[in-house]
Amino acid sequence: MDKPDMTAAEPVSSGEMQADPPKKRKKNRTAASYAMSFFIKLGVTAAVIWFLLTFVACVFICHSNTAYPAIKDGDFCLTFRLAKPEQGSVIAYLHDGAIGFGRVIASGGDRVSIYTDYITVNDYCISDVSVYPTSPEGSAVSYPYTVPENCVFVLNDYRSDLSDSRTFGGIPQEELRGVVVFIMRIRGI
């Protein structure tokens, strides 16, 4: 069997000239175009970060011991705003212009009662993770307390501090700043 000769070139007619594809002319970029591109990228990045830190997550430094021992004074806290606060989760909330941290005990429509040794929600005793005793003494609300709709009932983990729902009642959903998902101890660094 004869092998075809690969070295021989096929003749090209004069009308079939093979032309190289046109080369793109390289643009000469100026310093102004580099600066404009940089500032556009910087602006888009800043807008994305602003959006994320406004509507998806928040960053706080705790300036109190109300959530002690879960969150200590000086801790860096990251919250997730899209998470639904459930019973037992630690949240950040805004009250009277200050950020507070506390543990969700009940949601809108639930009935809360605080006794000397335990807490009930809808007449069921809940497991309390706080190492400090909870007492109804000093509460500004009366028990059983029905949490208003679209609100949560929050207790400080440091139960001696009454700056929580025992004093000002349910916290509206619009004042919530998210469920704490990350804590970094930065005090003393």
The string of pLDDT tens digits covering residues 119-146 is 899 889 888 777 788 888 888 889 899 9
Tens digits of residue pLDDT in 3-52: 555 555 555 555 555 666 667 666 778 888 899 999 999 999 999 999 99
Backbone phi and psi for residue 137, each to the nearest 5 degrees, phi listed first: -65, 135
Domains, the chain = 83-179 (2.10.109.10)
| Helix, strand, coil fractions of the chain, as percent rounded to 5 | 20, 30, 55
Give the amino acid at 162.
Answer: L
